Amino acid sequence: CELGRLDILLEVSLLSAFNAAPRQGHLDQAYNIFAHLKVHTPQCILFDPSTPEISVDIDFKEFKNDAWKDFYEVVGKALPSDLPSPRGASVKMLCFVDVSYASNRVTTRSHTGILIKLNGAPISWYSKRQNTVESSTFGSEFIALRIAAEMCQSLRYKLRMFDVPVDGPTMVFCDNQSVTNNVSIPTSLLNKKRNAICYHKVRECVASG
């Protein structure tokens, strides 16, 4: 979504799962949300145009050589022929992904949270329960990364159609080291076959830049 208040995004997402048959406890939690809104008057989102300074330890040689071509045919970005030329200053896209593993006490499903920023401004956010039950955080994080990759692709296409130039590839931040290694190292292999679709989708996005 691109509208709404970020401070109650998770709470509203959790309560919306019980719209069909709410109980008294769900109503009490809804009252708590309204109490929060009453105390915290309407706020505004700060759109910071400054380019963020991020210091990360990344070996960019993995992305500059032809190692990815052995696994994926890099065809570039799918853009129309009548794409308008970029205008104005470029923006840097940042994506933050995290998962609350097995947080649902009834179904043990995980909850995905995604925040996308342009420079220092939050532009798009996502909070939703996953559709499947994963037996490990590895699988849950891969599902979240696949959703984040699709959101970034859609937003980058929208920006380019609005004549907004995007500076370089999107920087995606994930706190799971195993998932990070599997998607960023070309020779890394997947040991869990049930996560193959999300695995190849994210790696293909990395290979295409």
Of 109, 90, 98, nearest in space to 179 by CA: 98
Give percent of the chain with pLDDT exceeding 90. 32
| φ, ψ (nearest 5 deg) of residue 81 | -70, -30
For position 84, what pLDDT does the model report? Answer: 84
Q: Estimate the crossing angle of helix 196-208 against helix 177-184, to 10 degrees.
A: 60
pLDDT in tens, 46-103: 788 888 877 766 655 555 556 777 777 765 666 777 788 888 888 999 999 999 999 8
Residues contacting residue 169 through CB under 8 Å, at least 6 positions apart = 209
